[in-house]
Amino acid sequence: MKELIKQYETAKKNAVKFMKKGQLHKYFDALIEMNHYKKLITVRAN
């Protein structure tokens, strides 16, 4: 569970970094990755 949270936070940091640089394609990929990890975290929490 801790590993999933760490991966989610890394994807979140990457999303912010890409957004600031204006790299929209990489930003959207990072958002998709965040969504994937968020779903896994909620499944494991239940």
Which pair of tokens denotes residue 1?
A: 């569970």
Q: What is the reported pLDDT for 12? A: 97
Q: What is the reported pLDDT for 46? A: 80
Position 11, amino acid = A
Distance, in Å, from the CA atom of 30 to the CA atom of 24, rounded to the nearest integer, reads 10
Write out pLDDT tens, residues 1-46.
899 999 999 999 999 999 999 999 999 999 999 999 999 999 988 8
pTM: 0.86
Distance, in Å, from the CA atom of 2 to the CA atom of 39, rounded to the nearest integer, reads 14
* Domain ranges, ordered by start, for the chain: 2-45
